[in-house]
Structure 1
């Protein structure tokens, strides 16, 4: 492997790549001029040695499952190429099974790609009958038309040394083809594939490590909202009834009302003079002072959500004996590309946040990107005047000066531009944006026109975002608004993941871990003695990632970074 390239140095195509494939008992590594096959344990050890000596870019069909043994072993891999994530950039959407990945990478008709008969490369533990590997080995892994053979997609294929070796070889070939296609599709798409792949690897680490919590605090907060832990089903019904009565006591004679039925709740509200078309919380907020029932109902909803979704069953199922909240993570939501998480990691109710607490000897370093989407718009549109406004700590202040309006109006104008709001005060503010920042608005208008016509749009990093067609004016307008926002939100997600990937490697030698990625926010669990150094690194990594991502320093990106003991300590 002496010819393996260092990034930035000319080398044979794919010379910097090393692919891995794992089955239940066997695994394989493949690189440009060599291969190694062995047990799972042997290959995990070999990957660690190769990472230390050559630092290749690791290739796999998908991080889950093919990087799971490596992450479970505690290896910190520097660079990777995830075929599924790269495919999602090329094709858009979520579907990224190996048959389609191979077809797209090699210019084949995806509709002709074979479907696995039972499971696929992402589910190698599914039971199937043995004997498929030999036929594929005799005929080769691809059909006459270039598509992968169905046998290769079978989970049984990964049960033999020859099978995992073939899958690793196919992964290496697919990565080379994908990299060529991405470079042809968009100037930044290869770099985006690097950071998206790193984000998929980070997702495995997030799932493994979990979010630190203080169990006693969490239990007491649940109890405060939902009552004590039920001792029986009858006790649970009594607690639920008592919670309901805290609302129904404000309307004597209606104690039989079902608060979980929106129709019944609307009737209850109408009885006290509150007439609303629906019972959403934001709809009821303006009526808090109208009648005590409204305030009681809003408080009941918060308690009910904790009781039913984040109660004792949730705590038992998802908080481990090491006091870590765990859930599955994905690097791309299948739309514009945001990271997603399960089990409350992305939507933990605010009343429970005090329980997210650093473990002894540690603190959190929390960093939240400021005004990220407007700053991204300034960068991706190339509007120099808007970029100049983004040099300020508060982007909305210079925008307000440019528009000749107050700051709140300026903020409305910027949000109206990105989200396509054209009526009321937002419409007048938007016209001011058109005059002051025509290049940024033209960029958004172009995306909206494409979306209204049902044409796919591309993010700044080259991700294809499909948009459906519509036969109605309302549908076309909605698709236009979606596309207008997707090019900004998608680019913001790309920058965020490039930042997170940079932080991940920078802080690892200090024993720090990213434990939460929430939209535009990073939360790191850090040894107390390294907290100041990690906080500084998080900020410098943002500067580095933004400079690489935009190719300039024309737009300034900022983060509010703090060192805290509990997540709730962070300022809003």
Structure 2
């Protein structure tokens, strides 16, 4: 399917036919209800997306099944380039083409682009040139706001583009089916294909989250912000005065010349009052709160400064609409491990502000949090039998602590140190204990670390490093750091790789779970209003809240049964019905 702005939508079918319609939203609704197809588009967000302007369906929900060529391209190739030209070239085994030159403000192509097009003779209505590449600028010429031609001509051209989408999908399916399936699950759909379908559905979910937003009670948000930083400042002078007011309690304890927004300056000022620290991270300072009253003042200042500069009155006015919904741009996957991300503070909302996230009248939130997801995923992807046994308990760190002969906090440090490559201090000792007890898991992480280091030094691995679900992790040669120490840069890239194979797999499991929950909520009248790393926040009518809890549990069981088929790893979720986000336990 390809949407033409201001004209309609062109659909290409598997039998070679095509059709044009004036209303993309109605097509989604009617065809979805009639035959429930798997929709194929170049990108849920990009040019030709029928989701860009919203849609209508039962419960105003988007399509159930889709294939997003850009999202699947990122799985297969990694990196950030996922425009139609790059996607098409990859499916044909061609080099990545240059980005198309955009039209000038007067609608005319620049001279070099005109020369390139004159050199590429053939059917100018065909999106593919004689070199097999997607023609430079063809998408903009067909779908752009200033594109030439009547509605019938433009829809016919868009239909040719839609046919290419079906060709590209078939090539991507073939490429995915050739990737190794790490699960002991003969007869099942290859895991990489499951990943592609879940990632495509996650892109639709991202568009819904972007469109619908997160419910925020404006009076509560205003009162909370005011309590922390005071009323909205008036003009630049008011902002400067508010800043001086925030700074004053700390500066009374330290030199008035200290720059509180410069960590080096703060560290020097602390040393002057007898507090010598290697850095000024909050966790380190919090442990020293009894050493000097300035520590508590500094921590309180940081909280207020963050609210004032990022989540203050201006943020509230800019990002929370008149309907009380916080909206920002959503991304189905980042460029590294593939986690969902969002703008406008949706993924970094301070704990103090969660009190303002309130379910709307007649509704409740269902908050579902995957328990200790990354170590459980590590047990699956590595196949470590000892770590797998630990996942049978609700608290995975308890059996790990027993096996290592340490307390629970130390066991947690050991597991995190293994995944993040920390080797110094108490974490280093814990990691040595992990290596002896959970050798299979550590060998898996070490192999990823070695691949990252080798790539950084210019030695590409024989086969691309991929997550459990098949996503290619982008590795490349890196320059030396500012000190000219390429070894330090390589070590950092090794730590990135060892973490990416776990975080990336966890992101794939999470998104597969989220899109399964999304479908289960349709008959319950509920929606997902936030995806936060390993946490889902659902809004559902009061009368279906308990049914949504049960459906969310079932969705996790079903997802894990497919994703971790052949593994005895147990996944758990803490799920609660609440009225406001802050009611959830930390």
TM over 0.5: yes
Consecutive unaligned residues of structure 1, counting only runs of 5 or more, are: 1-18, 120-124
**CA separation in 2, counterparts of 1:167 and 1:534?**
40
SS of 1:517 mapped into structure 2:
strand
Instruction: Tell whether 2:511 aligns with 1:511.
Output: no
Instruction: Tell whether 2:228 aligns with 1:225.
Output: yes
CA shift, 1:468, in A, is 2.4
Aligned equivalent of 2:150 = none
**CA separation in 2, counterparts of 1:463 and 1:288?**
44
CA shift, 1:303, in A, is 0.6
Instruction: Tell whether 2:477 aligns with 1:469.
Output: yes
Aligned equivalent of 2:38 = 57
Instruction: Tell whether 2:219 aligns with 1:216.
Output: yes
**CA separation in 1, counterparts of 2:127 and 2:65?**
27
Aligned equivalent of 1:181 = 175
SS of 1:465 mapped into structure 2:
coil
Aligned equivalent of 1:117 = 101
Report the CA distance shift for 1:240/1:338 in structure 2 as closer, same or farther (over 3 A): same
- Residue in structure 2 matching 1:128, options 92, 107, 110: 107
CA shift, 1:157, in A, is 4.3
Aligned equivalent of 2:51 = 68
SS of 1:64 mapped into structure 2:
coil
Is the 1:196–1:331 contact (alpha carbons within 8 Å) kept by the matching residues of 2?
yes
Aligned equivalent of 1:16 = none
**CA separation in 2, counterparts of 1:322 and 1:382?**
48
Aligned equivalent of 2:4 = 22
**CA separation in 1, counterparts of 2:537 and 2:4?**
31
Is the 2:177–2:192 contact (alpha carbons within 8 Å) kept by the matching residues of 1?
yes
Alignment of 1:212-291 (within 5 A): 212-251=215-254, 254-255=255-256, 257-291=258-292
Alignment of 1:376-455 (within 5 A): 376-454=377-455, 455=461
- Residue in structure 2 matching 1:94, options 80, 87, 90: 80
Consecutive unaligned residues of structure 2, counting only runs of 5 or more, are: 148-153, 182-190, 456-460, 481-485
SS of 1:568 mapped into structure 2:
helix
Deviates more, 1:82-91 or 1:546-555: 546-555
CA shift, 1:463, in A, is 0.5
**CA separation in 2, counterparts of 1:500 and 1:430?**
33
SS of 1:287 mapped into structure 2:
coil
**CA separation in 1, counterparts of 2:468 and 2:569?**
14
Aligned equivalent of 2:483 = none
**CA separation in 2, counterparts of 1:425 and 1:276?**
17
CA shift, 1:552, in A, is 3.5
CA shift, 1:342, in A, is 0.2
Is the 1:118–1:126 contact (alpha carbons within 8 Å) kept by the matching residues of 2?
no
Deviates more, 1:78-87 or 1:46-55: 46-55
Aligned equivalent of 2:21 = 38
Is the 1:59–1:82 contact (alpha carbons within 8 Å) kept by the matching residues of 2?
yes
**CA separation in 2, counterparts of 1:155 and 1:360?**
47
SS of 1:118 mapped into structure 2:
coil
SS of 2:575 mapped into structure 1:
strand
CA shift, 1:284, in A, is 2.6
- Residue in structure 2 matching 1:168, options 138, 152, 162: 162
CA shift, 1:77, in A, is 0.8
Normalising to structure 2: TM-score of the pair?
0.87
**CA separation in 1, counterparts of 2:142 and 2:18?**
21
Deviates more, 1:377-386 or 1:91-100: 377-386
Report the CA distance shift for 1:263/1:556 in structure 2 as closer, same or farther (over 3 A): closer
Is the 1:468–1:479 contact (alpha carbons within 8 Å) kept by the matching residues of 2?
no
Is the 2:4–2:155 contact (alpha carbons within 8 Å) kept by the matching residues of 1?
no
CA shift, 1:256, in A, is 5.8
- Residue in structure 2 matching 1:196, options 196, 199, 209: 199
**CA separation in 2, counterparts of 1:36 and 1:300?**
61
When the two chains are superposed, the root-mean-square deviation of aligned CA atoms in Å is 2.4
Aligned equivalent of 1:9 = none
Normalising to structure 1: TM-score of the pair?
0.89
Is the 2:55–2:62 contact (alpha carbons within 8 Å) kept by the matching residues of 1?
no
- Residue in structure 2 matching 1:458, options 435, 454, 466: 466
SS of 1:450 mapped into structure 2:
helix
Deviates more, 1:491-500 or 1:100-109: 100-109
Aligned equivalent of 1:527 = 541
Report the CA distance shift for 1:228/1:474 in structure 2 as closer, same or farther (over 3 A): same
**CA separation in 2, counterparts of 1:98 and 1:127?**
24
Is the 2:370–2:574 contact (alpha carbons within 8 Å) kept by the matching residues of 1?
yes
Deviates more, 1:402-411 or 1:366-375: 402-411
Report the CA distance shift for 1:380/1:115 in structure 2 as closer, same or farther (over 3 A): same
Instruction: Tell whether 2:576 aligns with 1:562.
Output: yes
Instruction: Tell whether 2:513 aligns with 1:502.
Output: no
Q: Give the number of equivalent residue pairs.
A: 543
**CA separation in 2, counterparts of 1:394 and 1:149?**
56
**CA separation in 2, counterparts of 1:108 and 1:300?**
55
